Amino acid sequence: MSQDFIPAAKPIIGAEERAAVDAVMASGMLAQGPEVAAFEKEFSQVMVDGRASVAVNSGTSGLHLGLLASGVGPGDEVIVPSFTFAATGNSVALTGATPVFADIELDYYTLDVAHVESLITDKTKGIMPVHLYGHPFAADVFTALAEKHGIDLYEDAAQAHGAAVNGKKVGTFGKFGMFSLYPTKNMTSGEGGMVTTGDATVERNLRLLRNQGMEKQYQNELVGFNNRMTDLHAAIGRVQLTKVEAWTAQRQENAAFLSANLEGVGTPKVAPGAEHVYHQYTIRVSEGRDELHERLRSEFNIGSGVYYPVPNHRLPSFNRTEDLPNTEIAAREVLSLPVHPSLTQDDLERIVTAVNTIVKAGA
């Protein structure tokens, strides 16, 4: 059995992606153009049941512009998890609104509905839960909650390409949804983000905001950004879009093998009706998580990751003092093992043996 390093994540870039980039280079037209337009159309069809899709230069830009396009700004509050990548709360703060951090539940690491409801005030403009690790949040429950209080739902679907709730795809529930296309995500465009929306005004605002506020050149309607995706990036994304479904199936198969064979750790749960796309395969280790992480690397040459060790509300950038007990437990106990589609059966067996050996010895 090979003892080569098994990375925690591995982007798959093949000859087709390289040829697609080369074709754009040969065309001499590198900036946003026909490749971006085609990528948006194809993404709409493959990923979000025909909802409009607007490509931008990163997932973070996508969240920021999605919120601005939905009318979020100074004086507003948006409820977000603290247990997520910092871009979720950052994007709210960048609009001038206040991110209000809510706790998660510990089965799926997504926002706790009851805690969210307790935080709704007359300043609350919306809720932005995260489909964390590729497991969808309870989108039907949050849709009903938002409707009940007359506020908006926004979806941070950065990690959840193809995930669904009762057969309905993520990115189709909220006023907007946002998918990251960073290289370690389930599919990539190099860097990039795709914002999906069923609201024609939000779509138009997004298209304006990413392009200096212009639809017609030099007739700027809004103060906007240059957050455009290039045709080089879109060309990569279009190829990846044809492969992501098969990669997801492989992730799910890898996850099933890990869950059937790991011992002494909490394996990921899947909610009834949820389609989990395993951006991460995240276990819970009640004692010795950091030691397990280190020994996997030093003794077994296996990468793993802690997503996320510091709850966002306690980061120096926010420096809040809320008490979010489940968030603290998750930050202390989670560990993500490799689950990416390039793993071989040997790799999967090595991961199982390594974790079981370390845990049995009392990590």
Ligand X SMILES: Cc1ncc(COP(=O)(O)O)c(C=O)c1O
DSSP 261-276: H--SSBPPP--TTEE-
- The residue from 180, 211, 280, 312 that contacts ligand X (CB under 6 A) is 180
Q: Based on CB atoms, which residue is closest to ligand X, 180 or 359?
A: 180
Q: Which stretch binds ligand X (CB under 6 A): 29-37, 70-78, 84-92, 108-116?
A: 84-92
CA distances from 303 to 4, 183, 321, 336, 347 (A): 11, 17, 33, 9, 11
Q: Based on CB atoms, which residue is closest to ligand X, 59 or 162?
A: 59
Q: Is 179 in the site for ligand X (CB under 6 A)?
A: no
Q: Compute the distance between CA of residue 18 and CA of residue 14 in angstroms, rounded to an integer.
A: 7
Q: Is 78 in the site for ligand X (CB under 6 A)?
A: no
Q: Based on CB atoms, which residue is closest to ligand X, 158 or 262?
A: 158
- The residue from 32, 44, 88, 205 that contacts ligand X (CB under 6 A) is 88
Q: Is 189 in the site for ligand X (CB under 6 A)?
A: no
Using alpha carbons, select from 308, 264, 253, 245 the residue that is nearest to residue 89.
308
Instruction: State the minimum distance, in angstroms, from the CB of residue 130 to ligand X.
Output: 5
DSSP 46-66: HHSTT-EEEEES-HHHHHHHH
Q: Which stretch binds ligand X (CB under 6 A): 52-60, 141-149, 194-202, 265-273?
A: 52-60
- The residue from 43, 83, 85, 142 that contacts ligand X (CB under 6 A) is 85
CA distances from 186 to 237, 339, 344 (A): 11, 11, 17
Lay out the site mask for ligand X across 139-178 (x = CB under 6 A, - = otherwise). Answer: -----------------x-xx-------------------
Q: Based on CB atoms, which residue is closest to ligand X, 109 or 247?
A: 109
Instruction: State the minimum distance, in angstroms, from the CB of residue 158 to ligand X.
Output: 3
Q: How many residues bind ligand X (CB under 6 A)?
A: 15
Q: Is 83 in the site for ligand X (CB under 6 A)?
A: no
The residue assigned the tokens 């809040």 is 320
Q: Is 355 in the site for ligand X (CB under 6 A)?
A: no
Instruction: State the minimum distance, in angstroms, from the CB of residue 58 to ligand X.
Output: 4
- For residue 155, the surrounding DSSP H or E stretch is strand 152-156
Q: Is 133 in the site for ligand X (CB under 6 A)?
A: no
Q: Is 43 in the site for ligand X (CB under 6 A)?
A: no
Q: Compute the distance between CA of residue 356 and CA of residue 189 in angstroms, rounded to an integer.
A: 36
Q: Compute the distance between CA of residue 363 and CA of residue 361 in angstroms, rounded to an integer.
A: 6
Q: Is 55 in the site for ligand X (CB under 6 A)?
A: no
Q: Is 130 in the site for ligand X (CB under 6 A)?
A: yes
Instruction: State the minimum distance, in angstroms, from the CB of residue 179 to ligand X.
Output: 9
Strand partners, 54: 195
- The residue from 59, 126, 171, 224 that contacts ligand X (CB under 6 A) is 59
Q: Compute the distance between CA of residue 43 and CA of residue 186 in angstroms, rounded to an integer.
A: 14
Which stretches within the chain are classed as H helix? 15-27, 34-47, 59-69, 87-94, 113-118, 139-149, 200-209, 231-241, 244-261, 289-300, 325-333, 345-360
Q: Which residues contact 16 (CB under 8 A, 6 or more apart)?
A: 239
Using alpha carbons, select from 76, 79, 73 the residue that is nearest to residue 94.
73
- For residue 102, the surrounding DSSP H or E stretch is strand 98-102
- The residue from 21, 87, 232, 255 that contacts ligand X (CB under 6 A) is 87
- The residue from 66, 193, 268, 311 that contacts ligand X (CB under 6 A) is 193
Q: Which stretch binds ligand X (CB under 6 A): 2-10, 81-89, 245-253, 286-294?
A: 81-89
Instruction: State the minimum distance, in angstroms, from the CB of residue 310 to ligand X.
Output: 15
Q: Compute the distance between CA of residue 197 and CA of residue 203 in angstroms, rounded to an integer.
A: 6
Instruction: List interacting residues with ligand X (CB under 6 A).
Output: 58-60, 63, 84-85, 87-88, 130, 156, 158-159, 180, 182, 193
